[in-house]
Structures are given as structure tokens and as C-alpha cells.
Structure 1
Amino acid sequence: MQAFSEMGKTALEPGALDTKTKELIALAISVAVRCDPCVTYHSSAAQRAGATRDEVAEAMGIAVYMGAGPSAMYAAQALEAFDQWDEKAKG
């Protein structure tokens, strides 16, 4: 856990992206992957990093888009696979 914590600290250090932007990204990913503890942690960290409610709301729009879009693609692939297996079973 200590190594994971160190990796997180390093990842969130300002670089090409500032810490606030990185926390908004982390928060959006937390929502997209549906991690409740992550949402709590990164919403707090985004607030501490200076994110505004409008910035969080905009990041949430991306999170919903990304969480739902991949799910829709997987659903389409699952149906296609089912159809192929069904066809094969019927001969």
C-alpha cells in the first residue's frame, strides 16, 4: 500500500497537467468505473486543489459519456457474440 500511495502522489504532482486537472480526471474515472470510495476521495481532493462546481459538473458529463459509451459498445458486442453462438448451435 505504501508503494501505491507513493505512485499516487507522484502521478498527481504538477507537470504538463496541474494537480487540479489531474484530480478532475481521477474523479471522472472514479465515476466511470463506479468506485464509491474513489469518488469520495477524489471529489475531496479536487475541491482542495481548487476545482469549481462548474468544473466538476463538466468533468461529470465526460464521466457519464465514457461510462455509458463503452458499456453500449460491450452490449453490442455481447449481442453479436450471442447471435454467432446461436447460429452455430442451430447448425
Structure 2
Amino acid sequence: MLDWKETIQSTTIRLKELSTRTPDTLRGAALLGGAGAKTNHLGAKTRELIALAVAVTTRCDGCIAFHAAEAVKLGVSNEEMAEALGVAINLNAGAALVYSTHVLDAMETLKQA
């Protein structure tokens, strides 16, 4: 398993370095990250649960580290987290299932060629 605190620290250092090279990119990413908080239709906990589920589906360890830390600060329960991860698991399985139809299509098309 990863050292999640170290992941946060090392990623933060590298992001600061990146921000000196392309500051508008980091400002844009920060603007996107804060957009939901301005409308607050879902609430911070829900946004973090979505972020964790998406982090799992995109396999982003840095995202997991930062959003897990924020979820802990917000008091996300183990049960809430587990339900969000269940959605991520379902989406990954569902995507594999749906994309399997592409294989069927490709095989059928290539056999006809």
C-alpha cells in the first residue's frame, strides 16, 4: 500500500513546481475544483464521495490521497465511502460489459472484411 501522507506531500511539491511553469493551467484546475462549492447544490461530502468514486475509476492515486484526506476532514463515514466505492465498482464493471460489445462488433466486422 502507498504512504498516503507522502503521496500528498510529494504531489504537492511537484504541483507547485508545475505551477511555476504553467500557472494558468493550475489556476484553471483550481477553478474547476472549486466550482461546485460555489453553487453547493450537492454539498461538500457528496462532492468528495463522487471525487473518490471517480478517482477509483480513473485509477488516480494522487486524487485518492487528496480526496480521501478531505473526506476524512468532512466526516465521511465508512458506510458512505463504501457506497460510493460500490458505484465506482459498478461503473467499471458496467463499462467493461458495454465495451465488450465493441469487441463483438470488431470481430464481426473484421471477419466480413
When normalised by structure 2's length, the TM-score is: 0.69
Tell me whether 1:56 sits opposite 2:84 in the alignment: no
Tell me whether 1:18 sits opposite 2:73 in the alignment: no
Whether the aligned pair in 2 keeps the contact of 1:23 and 1:45 (CA below 8 Å) is yes
Structure 1 residue ranges without an equivalent (≥5): none
When normalised by structure 1's length, the TM-score is: 0.84
Shift of 1:83: 1.8
DSSP-derived class of the 1:16 partner? coil
| Residue number in structure 2 paired with 1:80 | 105
Aligned partner (choices 53, 75, 87) of residue 28 of structure 1:
53
Q: Which amino acid aligns with 2:36?
A: A
Percent identity of the aligned residues? 33
Following TM superposition, where does structure 1 have runs of at least 4 consecutive aligned residues deviating by more than 6 angstroms? none
Aligned residues: 88
Shift of 1:12: 3.8
Shift of 1:53: 0.8
| Residue number in structure 1 paired with 2:10 | none
Q: Which amino acid aligns with 2:86?
A: G
Structure 2 residue ranges without an equivalent (≥5): 1-25
Query: How large is the Cα RMSD of the aligned pairs?
Result: 1.5
